[in-house]
Structure formats: C-alpha cells, structure tokens
C-alpha cells in the first residue's frame, strides 16, 4: 500500500514475505532452500528462500512474464519538453528514462526532486500513452517512473536506478518489479542475454538486488522473459493495529 492505493507487484515485499512465511510457521522449511508461492495481483510469484542451520537468508523470486511494452516513446513533459521513454512490465508497468535526459543524477540529485520530476513524467505518460495488458485490463496502469543511470548494456559494473511511484514516492530499494521490467527491456534490445546476472543498486541508499533473465516466454503477443531477482529482507520491528467500532476513521483515511 502507498499514497495512491495498492500496487500490482512488489519485489521487495516478496523477498521479505518469503522469509516471514517460513520464520512464522506458515510454510514448513526445507534446506537448503524453501519455495514459497505468493499470490500477487499480477499472478503467482514463486519465492525461493535460503534455509540453513535453522535460519532463513536471502530470497530469489521468479517473476510473472515480463516484457517491453514500447521503446523510445515520445512524451511531452511540462517544463522539460519532449523526451523519449521506454515502458516495461515486470508485474507492474513503469516508464524508464535516463536521469541525465532531465538534468538529474540518480545518486546526487535530491530524492524530493527525483520524486517531483518522476511524478511529472508519470502524469505525461498516463495522459499520452494508452497501456494494455494481454491478461487483465486491471493491470494496465502506470505504477511510476524509474530513473536510470543509462548503463544498460550488460557489464560487471552495477546498474543504478531510482524508482519513483504513486504521488512523488521514492523507493528505498532498487524496486523488484522495476528491475524485472528493466531487464525485460534490456533483453528485448539485445543488451543482456539469458542467465547473465547483473547487480542493480538504488542510487540513494545503495541497496542492491541481483537480476537475470532465466527463460523466454510469451505474454499475449508480447515476447517476454521470466526474470529472477535476488535480495535480502531484514526485520526492523513489529506493530499491532487496533480497530475500535466507534472510531469514525476505523477504515482508514488519505489526506492529500
């Protein structure tokens, strides 16, 4: 859940929920790796959680079919003019653009500025590009804009990106569905081959995921790939939520 509603896929959540499901007894552990099937709005995502010596570790998941929806799409962004974006689907739709195109940098630009410009790009894409998904019309909406370092041709050097989503939100991870979509676009362009593993880092926090396309498939008429994304989720605390019947806001609220 975010400040605009609910997403169709969250790779970071899958990575963390995989550990949680085992640690809290929802799934029986099996060494050296335990599979946890997670039903996401975009479909079943299979998480494979390391399990050694009675302890869970890092998680890798296989995505739903991911594809390049369109590449080099021209949109007009108020205050920035005409730019070219790629649009990819990795469980959620994102627009991808090199931060340099908009005078930004994925590491040195302030998160507030990245969020604001990302929102402007997302609004432009939403207004000027009609998205469709072969399986479900309810999946056909833009989750956000991902600023990249432009370093898309495969190399051993980490690719860096910042995911902006919903209303000027900025992700603290590289974004699992965003990494998936970026790899799908890279594979479509011949920039990465099957089973080539690459590190993807968040430009603001340095948080890393690894990703690779593991097999080709189809999604409707789109050539697609299944992408494996790996990372590690950590516990930071627990919370208890209480709902009292006479609370007029018991079902929640959103202030904009």
Written as six digits, the tokens of 176 are: 């699992």
- β-bridge mates for residue 222, sequence order: 219
State yes or no: is 10 an active-site residue: yes
Catalytic residue among 10, 40, 163, 219: 10
Residues 231 and 233: their CA atoms lie apart, in Å, by: 7
Cβ-count burial 130-142 (b if 16+ within 10 Å, e if not)? ebebbeeeebbeb
Give the closest residue to 99 by CA, choosing from 134, 151, 55.
151
Written as six digits, the tokens of 125 are: 């894409």
> What are the residue ranges of helices labelled H in the chain?
11-23, 111-128, 176-188
Token pair 């469709």: residue: 132
Token pair 């908009």: residue: 102
Residues 59 and 28: their CA atoms lie apart, in Å, by: 16
Residues 89 and 94: their CA atoms lie apart, in Å, by: 7
Written as six digits, the tokens of 208 are: 């890393």
Residues 6+ apart with CB under 8 A from 57: 19, 49, 50, 51, 232
Residues 112 and 154: their CA atoms lie apart, in Å, by: 30
Active site members: 10
């Amino acid at each position: 859940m975010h400040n605009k509603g609910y997403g169709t896929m969250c790779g970071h959540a899958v990575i963390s929920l995989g550990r949680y499901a085992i640690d809290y007894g929802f799934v029986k552990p099996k060494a050296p790796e335990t599979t946890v099937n997670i039903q996401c709005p975009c479909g079943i995502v299979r998480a494979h959680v390391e399990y050694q010596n009675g302890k869970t570790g890092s998680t890798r998941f296989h995505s739903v079919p991911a594809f390049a929806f369109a590449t080099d799409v021209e949109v007009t962004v108020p205050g920035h003019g005409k730019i070219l974006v790629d649009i990819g689907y990795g469980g959620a739709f994102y627009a991808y653009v090199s931060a340099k195109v908009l005078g930004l940098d994925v590491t040195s630009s302030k998160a507030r500025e990245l969020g604001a410009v990302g929102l402007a790009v997302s609004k432009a894409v939403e207004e000027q590009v009609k998205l469709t998904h072969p399986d479900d019309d309810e999946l056909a909406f833009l989750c956000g804009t991902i600023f990249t370092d432009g370093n898309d041709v495969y190399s051993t050097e980490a690719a860096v990106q910042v995911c902006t989503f919903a209303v000027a939100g900025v992700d603290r991870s590289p974004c699992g569905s965003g990494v998936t979509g970026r790899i799908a676009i890279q594979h479509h362009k011949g920039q990465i081959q099957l089973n080539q593993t690459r590190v993807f880092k968040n430009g603001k926090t340095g948080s890393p995921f690894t990703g690779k396309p593991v097999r080709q498939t189809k999604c409707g008429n789109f050539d697609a790939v299944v992408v494996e994304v790996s990372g590690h989720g950590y516990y930071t605390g627990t919370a208890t939520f209480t709902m009292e019947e006479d609370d007029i806001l018991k079902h929640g609220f959103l202030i904009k």
